[in-house]
């Protein structure tokens, strides 16, 4: 199956599961206390994640990721934000307000991540994304006034703030995850283990301050734990992160606009939750903000660079399933960058220059027409799609530490084009 096709299939399955997610959180948190419910959910998810690593003989990959302390720390922090902190905030919000409203507000993370893209991914934000962000803030204000525009419901305000905070946590987490490269199932185990550790520490602290622990292994509670752990934070999370790394945060986020509408339907059918007219308007506002982003040119994100320099593009998403030397080069903080040279095809001498220059910077590099040994045909096809390759000019790809890959590409461009960038 083609990389892009697989990514969209996984994304579709994830969207379907996420439609049920706020309902499962609400049912589970009402059946027992929220912290105990999430602790059991992440204990189950961590156990299943670890069992998968054992079954697929992937413990060596886990050890390699943990050996890079900086990389492991960033991945763990991303997991804590997205799984631990966001989960408790969304669970609280889902109990205080409807699951439908909680779903709409949390999905605003797609827009809330825009200000952090230049800081974390080092790529440019365009005017379409900024316009989408503005619409997102209008939607949040609309939610806080229950659609009246002028009256704020102070009773719901803490829950609304918690859901928006969860959106910020998810936004930063997803960008951190996009910025790091490690086997997805290894990341899933680290995410679940980080969240489990968080709730193991949090529960006794909260209990010490008078928090009531309610352990109620009823059928609704068990069903909710199994759904949240196995569907949301294991299988669904794999589907989501595969899509995130492959087709990027904007397109992946765009698909999330479908989720609130599914939640409206499922909540109405399963728990008889009413759908108020302003929910539809609110979901439409969030959807509009994301659609505005989609008007931006659909190419690989442009890497931030000093003014006047030739554009480099981040194409790391093509190597989500990298193997061999490519996997070694792109792991951790490694990136795959590309530059277009205004000439068709490279000679053997030019190809040798590309490899030699990349070697100076501790990278590997190749032209899109003559890919490196471990690059598959599906990866080349995906590269051509995201780079909008029309057969005019040649793209050079460099893989390694971001700074080194960028320096190598600029030297290669200067040498092959007789121009300075």
Task: Please count the other Cβ atoms lying within 10 Å of the Cβ belonging to residue 389.
Answer: 18
Residues 191-240: tens digit of each pLDDT: 999 999 999 999 989 888 878 777 777 888 899 999 999 999 999 999 98
- CB of 373 closer than 8 Å to CB of 325: yes
Per-residue pLDDT band for 421 (boundaries 50, 70, 90) equals very low
- CB of 400 closer than 8 Å to CB of 329: yes
Integer CA distances (angstroms), 295 to 243, 289, 313, 331, in order: 20, 10, 19, 32
Helix (H, G, I), strand (E, B) or coil at 389: coil
- CB of 316 closer than 8 Å to CB of 292: no
Tell me phi and psi for residue 242, to 5 degrees. Answer: -60, -45
What is the model's pLDDT at position 420?
45
Sorted by sequence, the CB contacts under 8 Å of residue 323 that are 6+ apart come out as 374
- CB of 122 closer than 8 Å to CB of 304: yes
In angstroms, the first-to-last Cα distance of the chain is 38
- Selected residue with higher pLDDT from 155 and 220: 220
Most trustworthy range by pLDDT among 158-162, 282-286, 340-344? 158-162
- CB of 399 closer than 8 Å to CB of 329: yes
Q: How many angstroms separate the CA atoms of 100 and 394, rounded?
A: 49
Q: Is the pTM of this model over 0.95?
A: no
Per-residue pLDDT band for 80 (boundaries 50, 70, 90) equals very high
Task: Using alpha carbons only, give the angle 44, 66, 41 rounded to the nearest 5 degrees.
Answer: 10
Q: How many angstroms separate the CA atoms of 206 and 391, rounded?
A: 61
Residues 337-395: tens digit of each pLDDT: 998 888 777 888 888 999 999 999 999 999 888 888 888 888 888 888 778 766 667 88
- Selected residue with higher pLDDT from 260 and 163: 163
What is the model's pLDDT at position 297?
47
Averaged pLDDT of the chain: 82
Is the Cα dihedral 342, 346, 349, 350 positive or negative? positive
What is the model's pLDDT at position 307?
47
The arithmetic mean of pLDDT across residues 2-6, rounded, is: 79
Task: Using alpha carbons only, give the angle 277, 158, 141 rounded to the nearest 5 degrees.
Answer: 45
Most distant CA pair in the chain, distance: 73
């Amino acid at each position: 199956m083609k990389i892009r096709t697989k990514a969209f299939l996984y994304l579709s399955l994830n969207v379907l599961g996420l439609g049920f997610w706020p309902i499962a959180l609400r049912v589970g948190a009402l059946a027992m206390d929220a912290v105990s419910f999430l602790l059991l959910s992440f204990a189950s998810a961590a156990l299943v994640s670890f069992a998968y690593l054992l079954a697929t003989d992937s413990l060596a990959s886990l050890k390699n990721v943990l050996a890079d302390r900086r990389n492991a720390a960033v991945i763990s922090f991303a997991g804590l934000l997205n799984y631990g902190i966001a989960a408790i905030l969304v669970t609280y919000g889902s109990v205080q307000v409807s699951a439908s409203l909680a779903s709409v507000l949390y999905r605003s993370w797609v827009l809330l991540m825009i200000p952090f893209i230049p800081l974390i991914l080092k790529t440019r934000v365009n005017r379409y994304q900024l316009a989408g962000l503005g619409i997102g803030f209008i939607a949040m204000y609309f939610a806080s006034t229950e659609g009246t525009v002028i009256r704020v419901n102070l009773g719901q305000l803490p829950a609304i703030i918690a859901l928006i905070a969860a959106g910020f946590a998810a936004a930063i987490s997803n960008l951190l995850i996009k910025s790091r490269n490690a086997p997805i199932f290894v990341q899933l185990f680290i995410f679940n283990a980080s969240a489990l550790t968080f709730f193991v520490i949090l529960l006794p602290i909260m209990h010490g301050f008078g928090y009531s622990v309610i352990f109620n292994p009823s059928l609704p509670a068990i069903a909710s734990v199994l759904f949240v752990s196995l569907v949301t934070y294991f299988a669904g999370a794999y589907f989501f992160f595969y899509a995130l790394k492959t087709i990027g945060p904007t397109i992946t986020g765009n698909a999330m606009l479908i989720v609130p509408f599914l939640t409206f339907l499922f909540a109405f059918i399963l728990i008889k939750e009413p759908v108020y007219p302003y929910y539809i308007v609110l979901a439409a506002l969030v959807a509009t903000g994301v659609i505005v982003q989609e008007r931006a040119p659909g190419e690989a994100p442009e890497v931030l660079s000093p003014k006047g320099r030739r554009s480099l593009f981040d194409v790391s998403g093509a190597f989500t399933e990298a193997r061999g030397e490519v996997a070694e080069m792109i792991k951790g903080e490694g990136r795959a960058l590309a530059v277009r040279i205004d000439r068709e095809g490279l000679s053997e001498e030019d190809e040798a220059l590309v490899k030699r220059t990349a070697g100076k910077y501790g990278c590997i590099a190749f032209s899109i027409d003559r890919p490196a040994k471990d690059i598959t045909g599906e990866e080349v096809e995906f590269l051509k799609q995201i780079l909008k390759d029309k057969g005019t000019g040649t793209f050079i790809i460099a893989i390694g530490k971001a700074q080194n890959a960028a320096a190598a590409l600029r030297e290669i461009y200067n040498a092959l084009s007789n121009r300075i960038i």
